Structure 1
């Protein structure tokens, strides 16, 4: 449930740049990584990305880990550049000598050419689902105030890495972005993220069936894979629809299992707990209360706006700025 399903994480979001320059920059960066020209790659990384690695030696260890696990790159199968909201994202798919599955190298490139995000992983596959035509029975509202940005959302892997996971097949990750960035000031300071400590609201009426509230918020650059949802609640919406809302701030959830909640009621505050690269909200519906055992369900929200246009009922998509019925005070 990280912002990027990667060995390390995207740290900031910047305005998109032209496709051809981004393609050339992505190719050069990927070639530098594959060939081991790491000082060159290091110099092209943003300060926040360098912070994640902790030094050139950290990048070197990462590259060694990839080549040890997957061998050497044999053939580039495809390359493309696509906008992801305000980002320009270069994606390279290639065959490697020790892997039957092609690998993806993906880089997020800022306008000035700096690398702000970096992914290396086996090419995922869409999870099968019997619920592609399912219509959400609960009436859901977006669970936050004001305008948020959908980082991951939709039904394709390009728009939503969660779609490779059966339980989170239709999940959404959202945060606040202003002027192409998710934070002000130093990226290492949690309080600098715009969505940090923002109220997370109940998307519908129901009963709490799971609550975790005592996990620490991760420093930027660290994740808690052992507790993927972090501080979270699970709401029984009825009709075997269970809503998971994750990554909330330590100690911000005062509710308990068995409590009844109403639409728009505050559940907790946005944080950085669990398997997350930076503060954001994760939300998905599934058929059970067990995060690792269930079927993901589409989450249709009502009466919201997407990129300034009214939506009577729909699924927020990656790259959209969305706002719901709860205005900021």
Structure 2
């Protein structure tokens, strides 16, 4: 559910890292020659990895961006994280592959390694912004997409985007490279959506919830349906904290008919305007975008599933109608990570 996911075994430390920079993408072999635009990421990533692995977390901390330090808390937390990593995974034994690339607003380094205590490869990832500061850092067992009986499924409901205006697809798509949710059967095709200006999801250093462009934006019903569940009383989490006991936070679950159920999660406390049993039409207000539940920053989590209870059943692909993706008209399609999407105002059947 979190826009910046937590590994079940470890922890994921991310700040203002562009979505494209967070992809756990397959990497070429180490001997592959990096292009000129990759050299910064390759050099910085190798150096930061070495510092972290050797335990020089003070040096790593000194190179972190303010937003990253805010998410971490202090240098002691980084040292504790490093101890947790080595305690759970052991020591890095061999680098299996690595890659370096320039993503939007960041130089990204990815390495996949074999560690002494884990039978599966481990992914380590660094993103360095244009100022030379660490904007993102990840260590986790390399995930795989969950099997699904619905890979070729076509949505039966007529879906509109659940908001007005332009939003950015932070996570979305069928592949694990585009969408970390794909590792979970129930959230197999889920979306995390934010608003961005000049490549950032927030103003300033992003320490306050109000700094985020999607904060308090209106969340709309994606189709005609019946409200099965509406939760509204959970607090919005401060940046750097999460509520792992209430994964979806304040949310609305809709029965769209035809065995399709929609979850819209992480709404602002006190903003949900519907209740169980209400009938809604496409475009009706459900609540406001917030930061409740297991989330690292304000965003909208949306997914379809084949069961009426969150945490049960399988995720379903969500085909939306009448929208634009990066300025191009789409009559019906599935948005993917990195796209800027907006409804066009076309007619969606009720």
Indicate the TM-score class for this superposition, using the shorter chain for normalisation: over 0.9
Report the alpha carbon displacement of residue 220 of structure 1 after superposing the two structures with TM. Answer: 0.2
Provide the aligned length of Structure 1 versus Structure 2. Answer: 327
Q: Find the partner of 2:296 among 277, 285, 298.
A: 277
How is 1:65-84 mapped onto 2 (pairs within 5 angstroms)? 65-82=84-101
Residues 5 and 119, structure 1, Cα contact 8 Å, conserved in 2: no
Query: How many angstroms does 1:182 deviate by?
Result: 0.9
Equivalent position of 1:236 in the other structure? 255
1:39 Cα deviation after fit: 1.7
Matched ranges for 1:216-235 at <5 A: 216-235=235-254
Q: 1:11 Cα deviation (Å)?
A: 2.4
Change (3 A) 1:85 1:168: farther
- SS of equivalent residue, structure 2 residue 121: strand
Once the two structures are overlaid, the 10-residue window that deviates more, 101-110 or 247-256, is 101-110
Is contact 1:9-1:277 (8 Å) kept?
no
* 1:3 aligned residue: 3
Preserved CA contact (<8 Å) 1:228 1:275: yes
Partner residue, 2:149: 130
Is 1:117 matched up with 2:136? yes
Q: Which 10-residue stretch deviates more, 268-277 or 32-41?
A: 32-41
State how far apart, in whole Å, the 1-side matches of 2:253 and 2:108 are.
33
Q: Give the match's secondary structure for 1:59.
A: helix
Alignment partner of 1:49 out of 68, 76, 87: 68
Q: Distance in 1 between matches of 2:217 and 2:103?
A: 24
Counterparts of 1:99-118 in structure 2 under 5 Å? 99-118=118-137
Shift of 1:82: 4.7
Residues 264 and 163 of structure 1, relative CA distance in 2, 3 Å threshold = same
Partner of 2:173: 154
- Written as runs of structure 1 = structure 2, the 5 A alignment for 1:80-99 is 80-82=99-101, 87-99=106-118
Asked if the contact 1:202/1:264 (under 8 Å) is kept, the reply is: yes
How far apart are 1:240 and its partner, in Å?
Answer: 0.7
Map of 1:62 onto structure 2:
81
Q: Which residue of the partner structure matches residue 209 of structure 2? A: 190
Give me the TM-score of the superposition, normalised by structure 1.
0.95
Runs of 5+ unmatched residues, structure 1: none
SS at match of 1:311: strand
Deviations 1:160-217 (A, max 9, x none): 0000000000001010010111111231110111000000111111001011111000
- Please say if residues 264 and 326 of structure 1, whose CA atoms lie closer than 8 Å, have aligned partners that are also in contact: no
The TM-score with structure 2 as length reference comes to 0.89
Q: Tell me the CA shift for residue 19 of structure 1.
A: 2.6
List gaps (5 residues or longer) in structure 2. Answer: 22-35
Q: Report if aligned partners of 1:84, 1:318 keep a CA contact under 8 Å in 2.
A: no
Cα distance in 1 for partners of 2:257, 2:247 equals 24
Query: How much does 1:5 deviate?
Result: 1.6
Change (3 A) 1:53 1:13: closer
| Equivalent in the alignment of 1:168 | 187
- Give the match's secondary structure for 1:99: coil
Distance verdict in 2 for CA 1:240–1:81, change over 3 Å: farther
Paired with 2:310 and 2:43, the residues of 1 have a C-alpha distance of 40
Query: Could you list the runs of 4 or more consecutive aligned residues of structure 1 that deviate by over 3 angstroms after TM superposition?
Result: 13-18, 81-89
Report if the CA contact (8 A) 1:75-1:95 is conserved.
yes
Corresponding residue SS for 2:262: strand
